[in-house]
């Protein structure tokens, strides 16, 4: 049996996967964080565009003792 090519393929595919994962992590770190809780609200306020000034995804917690 000839297994040298199989091992070479396994190692090279693993190296490619690791390289892609490293690049993905670098790109993920470069995404700017969203400003939540900035204006005293628990959502994100749109700053530009047609919906400027609106709060998106407002979080409302219902009290458990009602």
Q: What is the pLDDT of residues 37-65, one digit of tens each?
A: 666 656 777 888 898 888 777 667 777 88
What single DSSP character describes residue 54? P
* Of residues 27, 59, 56, 32, the one with CA closest to residue 44: 56
pTM, rounded to two decimals: 0.43
pLDDT digits (tens, 9 = 90+) for 16-38: 999 999 999 999 888 776 666 66
């Amino acid at each position: 049996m000839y297994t040298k090519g199989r091992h070479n393929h396994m190692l090279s595919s693993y190296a490619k996967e690791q390289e892609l994962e490293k690049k993905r992590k670098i790109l993920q770190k470069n995404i700017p964080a969203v400003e939540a809780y900035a204006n005293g609200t628990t959502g994100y306020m749109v700053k530009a565009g047609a919906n400027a000034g609106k709060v998106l995804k407002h979080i409302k917690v219902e009290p458990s003792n009602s």
